[in-house]
Structure 1
């Protein structure tokens, strides 16, 4: 398939999980792809796996750094047809354990950085162009310990609508995917013991009618659709991909 032929795409957080799976699918569909990441080692590993891809080291929460990403895209691509905002942090704590630094970091990476990245990329977006934001079903579930993470993802869901309202006249549409539990490295970054992690996964699987975690490629397929001209009438929408977790 070549649904993204002759398109230039940027994927933030493209070194693992959903971001890496999406980069693979974009390349298979004919796109020229750039990915960002915080680790040179992981960027190099992703490039070795993906092949012809532009790698950009960047901190997703650093506002000034977003202009540097845009400049790299301008220099290498000249324009941008698709942006997938995937980089994020998942910090789960009970309410009493939160501090200002942790709160600020979550909102910087998950909300502030994406907003200013879109701003920095505005002169480069083609007409038409597609922005896809990676939300989360946590924004709709009210699960314990997700109070700040869920709030950041709710902000992204809102951002998809407001960006569309502001930018659609320029041919730029924004949408959001909200995955449920997906088999990615994020769970290994929560600081849980092996037994607690296994217990959490068993609990989550019990809450998913499909009876399993999603796979990164299943989310990537939806992002390809939203990035392509197939979805040109889909504007400011949220696509929930959670195995029925929020609906049954």
Structure 2
């Protein structure tokens, strides 16, 4: 069933993981999809595999966002669904977190999310759906995650305020907050294989359902929140997809 036939869907950070799975879900349901990413080779590969449009975009670079919006407006017109998914993560104790780690996460996760929304507002259709990817960490006080958790919590609050500010145009704004999820991002944490395996085991031990999530779990929730036939009365809400970890 093509629930999103001919609707314009934009997914930032769509060349891997949750973004890729979400692009695939919307494409299967008939949408016109455009994904962004920072790595040309990965973006080209994903674009071909998924059969969707793609544009190189660094979410922390406001000029890139302006160029993205201009291209979408000229080639696709107004946007029906915006999934602000791109993000970065690194983990270290407060005592050992570098200024570079701090700035990178602030610039991509919070500044990038804020200005992506701001610059897309003029080309969002009335009745559009905006979904931010935050994190299950917004409900946790997990060691070594202070900056990452703070940036995602900031995005969560941003989404609630945006839901109020955009309500007059019937634009709904929600967040999806994944817990431990099997994605490519885990390989970018800078950990060796043994450390990464130990971290995964520890996380799974804290999940009541005793498993990692899949990107497709999040993709289906994003699709649900974008479907006005089933979620037209949902805005400013957070959806934890974490196997109960935040309980």
Q: After the TM superposition, which residues 85-124 of structure 1 pair with which residues of structure 2 at under 5 Å, given as runs?
A: 85-124=84-123
**How many angstroms does 1:99 deviate by?**
2.8
Taking the aligned partners of 2:144 and 2:63, their CA distance within structure 1 comes to 31
Q: Does 1:224 align with 2:194?
A: no
| Alignment correspondent of 2:190 | 191
Taking the aligned partners of 2:243 and 2:100, their CA distance within structure 1 comes to 34
Taking the aligned partners of 2:83 and 2:22, their CA distance within structure 1 comes to 9
SS at match of 1:142: coil
Q: Does 1:126 align with 2:125?
A: yes
Q: After the TM superposition, which residues 24-35 of structure 1 pair with which residues of structure 2 at under 5 Å, given as runs?
A: 24-35=24-35
Q: Does 1:17 align with 2:17?
A: yes
Taking the aligned partners of 2:226 and 2:187, their CA distance within structure 1 comes to 29
Q: Unpaired segments of 5 or more residues in structure 1?
A: none
SS at match of 2:195: helix
**How many angstroms does 1:54 deviate by?**
1.1
**How many angstroms does 1:64 deviate by?**
2.1
SS at match of 1:104: helix
SS at match of 1:191: coil
| Residues 38, 57 of structure 1: 8 Å contact kept | yes
**How many angstroms does 1:6 deviate by?**
2.3
| Alignment correspondent of 1:164 | 163
TM-score, normalised relative to structure 1: 0.97
**How many angstroms does 1:66 deviate by?**
1.1
Taking the aligned partners of 1:201 and 1:117, their CA distance within structure 2 comes to 31
How many residues were matched structurally? Answer: 246
Q: Unpaired segments of 5 or more residues in structure 2?
A: none
**How many angstroms does 1:221 deviate by?**
0.3
| Residues 63, 112 of structure 1: 8 Å contact kept | no
| Residues 81, 129 of structure 1: 8 Å contact kept | yes
TM-score, normalised relative to structure 2: 0.97
CA RMSD of aligned residues (A): 0.9
SS at match of 1:61: coil
Q: After the TM superposition, which residues 34-113 of structure 1 pair with which residues of structure 2 at under 5 Å, given as runs?
A: 34-51=34-51, 53-113=52-112
